Amino acid sequence: MAWSKTFTAQQISTREHMWNAPPVFAGTHEFEQYRAAIDAAMVLIAKNVVGSGSVYTVALSGTATPGHKNSTTDTVTVTVTNAN
């Protein structure tokens, strides 16, 4: 199942900013991906990989298969843009 969530030009300094309004998930497999995507986005922001500041556009998306079975495609995309 595919999922996506975009936070456009928002102040994001903690994970709670991205937990406030998560997408609707079909199952725990998407939730696991979303949690990992948030962690990756927070690392990019904390390490100033995309520049320092407090306002970012964060786009998270993925496709997940229940159980993440072999020979299936699971993907996660994390895009972080400095909006300062």
pLDDT for 20-55, tens place per residue?
Answer: 878 888 788 888 999 999 999 999 999 999 998 889
Q: Which two tokens stand for residue 76?
A: 């996660």
Query: How many structural domains does the chain have?
Result: 1
What average pLDDT is seen over the chain? 89
Can you give the residue range of the structural domain that contains 65? 2-82
Own/partner contacts of 15-21, CB < 8 Å, gap of 24 or more, are: 15/39, 15/42, 18/58, 18/60
With 80 as the cut, is the pLDDT of residue 68 above it?
no
Q: What's residue 5's pLDDT?
A: 93
Q: What's residue 47's pLDDT?
A: 93
Neighbours of 26 (CB within 10 A): 12
Cα separation, 55 vs 45, in Å, equals 10
Cα separation, 51 vs 48, in Å, equals 5
Q: Which two tokens stand for residue 28?
A: 């725990």
With 90 as the cut, is the pLDDT of residue 6 above it?
yes
With 80 as the cut, is the pLDDT of residue 71 above it?
yes
